Amino acid sequence: MEKEQKILIARLILTALLFALSFFNFLGELGKLIISLVGFLIIGYDVIFKALKNIIHGKIFDERFLMLIASIGAFAIKEFHEALAVMLFYQLGEFLQDLAVDKSKDSIKKLMDIRPDYANLIFNEEIKKVHPSEVLIGAQIVVYAGEKIPLDGVIVSGTTTLDTAALTGESLPKDSKVGDTVLSGMINLSGTIYVKVLKSFSESSVSKIIELVENAENKKAKSENFITKFARIYTPIVVCLAILLCIIPPLCFGLAWNDWIHRALLFLVVSCPCALVISIPLSFFVGIGGASKKGILIKGANHIETLADVGVIGFDKTGTLTKGNFAVVKVKAIGCKEKELVKLCALAEIGQSHPIAESIVKYATGVMKIDEKQVLEQTSLAGLGIKAIINNKTIFVGNQKLMEKAGAEIVLNEDPGTTIFISEGSKFLGYIVISDEIREYSKIAISKLKALGIKQTIMLTGDKDLVAENVASQVGIDKYFAELLPQDKAKIIEEIKATEKQKIAFVGDGINDAPVLKTADIGISMGKLGSDIAIESADIALMDDNVEKIADAIKLSRKTMKVVKENLIFTIGFKLVMLVLGALGIAPMWLAIFADVGVSLLAILNSLRALKF
């Protein structure tokens, strides 16, 4: 517990004792006034200071102003107990609310407490413990059993088992060996490993995740903006109504001033919308924390609200519904020998990070030696393929559209799989067929989404129609679009948004799908286990390749919105009832304050439900 909270507890206890003492009649009216005033200053000095400071800066209509004016009014009409009770119960309520909020934030802090404190840097054949920010890209570090991996990199020596739960939400440890990628925030459970650093600390996965979760709170949902606007309009109206309540009955009907001033003050105190102001943003913040526990990173409360209303979900094919683990299954040489075809294709694709390129290079290097020096120039053509200058020959490697652009007459392939065509200028050389494997949980994910009431699932791919049809039928996709360029995907999403009148989400790998991820109402990036693109290009990032988590994200967003609506209805409804009771003089002020505190706490506790789903 922080020092400020301990001081507040002491103030609450001392004020409660003075409050009890003020009821003894032997003190007389002056004694009760002095004790109540001392207690009021002890428990309320910070509220008074902040209220006066806000008034000076033009921020008059807030809860502190209401508490201050209600207390002063109670002193004026000699209701000393109530004057002290107003401030005592208000501060007690603030203290309990802070505890509840801190509890929710602590759970998120624990979840995000994966930032490593040090790295074991290999420097001049010695191991030196340094802060991760001091380690340069390309350096080697040692990670011992039980330590957090401080920086993103690749294992160059050793084998181990990694706990990835903090990043992916997966409870099962992951076996890792030489050549495997490791990310900062993972925990080394067993053997010692040597890691070559691939990213600086500021660009590491753990830094990106923490930054994302911290910044998510700043992106307000419509419900939060509504509360802000509501409070600005609502509070001045309530103050005006309180003034009318105070003046009209005594002036027009000759009723007692004391009684109606008291009712007006009670009306002001009850009107404070603190339960709304606290509980609604907290509901979204807790929802973001609950999603993070499952390896679902949501970049803002506004995205939770939009995701809850999604009716159509689009998917990329490669690396999303399929594993992206391509393998060469057929080589068809027409204008050259088969070995030459494979060699030219591999040289053109060498150095490219796309799974198809990697599979071709892997296949070629398994049967022959590849000399990268033969590649004089290499140009990536978005949505088409690669143009390369190899031994002074212009080689095109890509899809059918690229062949048409090069003027090559091709021989079509009817086998299932992705076909890569190769030409030397306009001379067609042949094709290579690559096959991809459907993820084992893609079909389950689609069925879960349909069970949630998602009206339509679609698949957008640059692959040929035959391959797209095969994948769509196997996983249960309602509709597919094939042979698309990145800009075509964005255009189709725009058309669906216009015709279906539904919120649409798109799920992709965050690399080639950046345009369509931005076009959709919600962009969901997955795979690549925390890559820069997965963190930066979409509204929601899944920290592993499990598309089933999309259903979890939708269920969480709907639960969060249900909690928000419950809090709105409950708190506004209660306020209206208490305002009427206060105006009628039925409820005493201390009871109104106590009830208001109770409503705030119930709303906050209800908000915490979003942490578990």
Strand partners, 540: 298, 524
Q: Whole-angstrom Cα distance, residue 86 to residue 75?
A: 11
The answer to whether 271 and 235 are in contact (CB under 8 A) is: yes
Beta strands of 512-582 (E only): which ranges?
522-525, 540-542
Q: Which residues contact 297 (CB under 8 A, 6 or more apart)?
A: 209, 212, 213, 291, 535, 540, 541, 542, 543
Q: What does the block give as tokens for 488?
A: 């075509």
Q: Whole-angstrom Cα distance, residue 241 to residue 506?
A: 49
Q: Whole-angstrom Cα distance, residue 97 to residue 279?
A: 9
User: Of residues 316, 539, 552, 596, which has the active-site annotation?
Assistant: 316
* CA angle 423–425–431, rounded 5-degree value: 5
Residue 431: pLDDT band (50, 70, 90) is very high
Q: At what angle do helices 63-76 and 28-56 cross, to 10 degrees?
A: 150
Q: What are phi and psi of 161, to 5 degrees?
A: -120, 130
Q: Whole-angstrom Cα distance, residue 162 to residue 177?
A: 10
Task: Specify the pLDDT at position 100.
Answer: 57
Q: Whole-angstrom Cα distance, residue 438 to residue 443?
A: 9
Whether the per-residue pLDDT at 354 is higher than 80: the answer is no
Whether the per-residue pLDDT at 137 is higher than 50: the answer is yes
Task: Specify the pLDDT at position 529.
Answer: 47
What b/e string do you get for 98-107 counting C-beta neighbours within 10 Å, with b at 16 or more? bebbeebeeb
Task: Specify the pLDDT at position 219.
Answer: 54
Mean pLDDT within 540-568? 88
Strand partners, 102: none
Name which of 239, 213, 219, 142 is nearest 182 in CA terms. 142
Name which of 387, 546, 355 is nearest 462 in CA terms. 355
- How many CB atoms sit inside 10 A of residue 536's CB? 14
* CA angle 214–300–169, rounded 5-degree value: 70
Residue 302: pLDDT band (50, 70, 90) is confident
Q: Whole-angstrom Cα distance, residue 478 to residue 496?
A: 14
Mean pLDDT within 533-559? 81
Percentage of residues of the chain with pLDDT beyond 90:
25
- Please state, rounded to an integer, the average pLDDT across all residues of the chain: 81
Q: Comparing 265 with 144, which gets the higher pLDDT? A: 144
Mean pLDDT within 289-303? 81
Whether the per-residue pLDDT at 231 is higher than 70: the answer is no
Task: Specify the pLDDT at position 600.
Answer: 72
Whether the per-residue pLDDT at 397 is higher than 90: the answer is yes
Q: Whole-angstrom Cα distance, residue 136 to residue 455?
A: 49
- How many CB atoms sit inside 10 A of residue 233's CB? 10
Task: Specify the pLDDT at position 422.
Answer: 95
Q: Comparing 601 with 261, which gets the higher pLDDT? A: 261
Q: Whole-angstrom Cα distance, residue 513 to residue 539?
A: 13
Mean pLDDT within 295-309? 85
The conformation of residue 537, written as its DSSP 8-state character, comes to S
Q: Whole-angstrom Cα distance, residue 361 to residue 352?
A: 9
Task: Specify the pLDDT at position 530.
Answer: 43
Whether the per-residue pLDDT at 222 is higher than 70: the answer is no
Q: Whole-angstrom Cα distance, residue 481 to residue 457?
A: 12
Q: Comparing 408 with 76, which gets the higher pLDDT? A: 408
Q: Comparing 528 with 394, which gets the higher pLDDT? A: 394
The distance between the two most distant Cα atoms of the chain, rounded to a whole number of Å, is 112
Task: Specify the pLDDT at position 124.
Answer: 86
Q: Which residues contact 558 (CB under 8 A, 6 or more apart)?
A: 308
Task: Specify the pLDDT at position 32.
Answer: 86
Whether the per-residue pLDDT at 519 is higher than 70: the answer is yes
Most confident of 223-227, 384-388, 567-571: 384-388
- How many CB atoms sit inside 10 A of residue 22's CB? 22
Q: Comparing 469 with 268, which gets the higher pLDDT? A: 469
Whether the per-residue pLDDT at 99 is higher than 90: the answer is no
Q: What does the block give as tokens for 71?
A: 């207390």
415 is catalytic: no
Q: Whole-angstrom Cα distance, residue 165 to residue 187?
A: 9
Mean pLDDT within 20-46? 87
Task: Specify the pLDDT at position 85.
Answer: 76
- For residue 520, CA distances in Å to 26, 144, 312, 504 come to 73, 43, 10, 6
Q: Comparing 392 with 593, which gets the higher pLDDT? A: 392
Task: Specify the pLDDT at position 273.
Answer: 65
Task: Specify the pLDDT at position 421.
Answer: 95
Q: What is the pLDDT of residues 257-276, one digit of tens each?
A: 888 887 887 777 677 666 66
The answer to whether 185 and 167 are in contact (CB under 8 A) is: yes
Task: Specify the pLDDT at position 136.
Answer: 92
427-435 sheet: strands from edge to edge:
327-333, 427-435, 418-424, 393-398, 385-390, 375-381
Strand partners, 119: 130
Strand 193-197 vs strand 522-525: parallel, antiparallel, or unpaired?
unpaired
